[in-house]
Structure formats: C-alpha cells, structure tokens
C-alpha cells in the first residue's frame, strides 16, 4: 500500500491558501477516483482507502496542523508497517514558481516545517515528494503570511490547470516507477500554465 499524503492546515480559514495546495490536490484525487475521506481520530487525519491504477492506496490529510504533520503520518506508517519509500507527499514549495512542480526523493526539508516533521517521525528522508510551486512573496512580504494567504482567482486558475498534470505524475509513479514519474514531472516548467495570471 502507498500512503498519498497532502500537507496543509485544517479549518475553513485555511481553505484555498498556498500552504494548503497539498490538501487541494488530495481532495482532487479523492473526488476523481471516488475515494471518501473521513475524519479518523485515531490517526489525527482525514483518510480514505481505495485503489488507484491497480495499486492499493490510502489518501491522508493530517489534521495536526502543518508543523506537526509527521505525527499523523508516522502513526499510520508504523501501524501498517510501511517503509518511508511507500509514502508520497504533496507539499507547497516557495522555491518554485506557481504552476511548476518537482518530484524528488531523499532531499532535505528546505525550510519546510511540515517536511521536517515528517522526517522526524518517519526517521527518514526517503519518502517521495511532489514539490508544488506557489512562488515567492514580494520582497516586502513575509513568507509566513504569504503561504497562509489565499490564492487569487487568477492563481487558482493555474492551480486548477496543474491538478490533472499532478495526477498524471501520480499515475506514472504507481503504474511504472519513480524514475518514469520524475522524467514526466520534472521536464515541465509550468510556464504554459501561467498564461492566465
């Protein structure tokens, strides 16, 4: 089984914020494939089990807030005796422009507290990460405020266009392997998606 983990913060005030792009994509996958997400208190997460492209998966949205995401993911991974390489994470990434994505494994946290928490609780950095670009804030704006702000309507159009491409990356990962998925995802700059911004 693969854990497909979207990072974000729970609660209506965080909906459609840049920090919650992992939640946005996880909801998209659940809707597209008929997987029902339910609040499971024992996991401190919303979870849904199903099959994607012939592979058993559990979709996970930790409800522990971003900086403690590893608490929920670590519990689930230990219970099902999953290796870190079976965990696939969808995260926001300041260092990539809006519409871009990079698929990586075994890299450092890059200042992302949710990723740091996962590394701590999985005792590994070997999980797979879809780093979903949200862009950098203007020079005068702090990064924390920027990621907790909602996407503009024009930015949401870019995100909406990106979601099917991310789904293709997950499909390639599950049907083939990590290298094939990286070849697909990492070849795109996202520039073609930004025409609406």
Q: Which amino acids are annotated catalytic? A: 19
Calpha distance 101→157 (Å, rounded): 16
Q: Is 186 annotated as a binding residue?
A: no
Calpha distance 164→167 (Å, rounded): 5
Calpha distance 180→167 (Å, rounded): 14
Q: Is 67 annotated as a binding residue?
A: yes
Q: Position of tokens 């914020």?
A: 17
Q: Is 28 annotated as a binding residue?
A: no
Nearest residue to 23 via CA among 197, 163, 173, 175: 163
Are 169 and 101 in contact, with CB atoms under 8 Å apart? yes
Are 105 and 183 in contact, with CB atoms under 8 Å apart? no
Nearest residue to 127 via CA among 170, 65, 83, 94: 83
Are 90 and 21 in contact, with CB atoms under 8 Å apart? yes
Q: Evaluate the CA torsion angle 5, 8, 10, 12 in order and state its sign.
A: negative
**Residue 6, Cβ neighbours under 10 Å: how many?**
29
List binding-site positions for tRNA. Answer: 14, 65, 67, 113
């Amino acid at each position: 089984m693969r854990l497909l983990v979207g990072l974000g913060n729970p609660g209506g005030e965080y909906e459609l914020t840049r920090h919650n792009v992992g939640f946005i994509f996880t909801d998209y996958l659940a809707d597209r494939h008929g997987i029902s997400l339910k609040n499971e208190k024992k996991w401190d997460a919303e979870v849904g089990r199903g099959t994607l492209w012939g592979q058993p998966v559990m979709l996970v949205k930790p409800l522990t807030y971003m900086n403690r995401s590893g608490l929920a993911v670590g519990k689930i991974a230990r219970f099902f005796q999953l290796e870190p390489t079976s965990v696939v994470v969808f995260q926001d990434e300041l260092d990539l422009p809006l519409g871009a994505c990079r698929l990586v494994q075994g890299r450092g946290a890059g200042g992302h507290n949710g990723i740091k928490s996962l590394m701590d609780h999985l005792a590994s950095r070997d999980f797979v990460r879809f780093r979903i670009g949200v862009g950098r804030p203007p020079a005068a704006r702090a990064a924390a405020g920027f990621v907790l702000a909602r996407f503009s309507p024009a930015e949401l159009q870019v995100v909406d266009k990106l979601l099917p491409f991310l789904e293709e990356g997950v499909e390639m990962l599950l049907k083939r392997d990590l290298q094939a998925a990286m070849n697909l995802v990492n070849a795109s700059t996202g520039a073609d998606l930004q025409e609406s911004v």
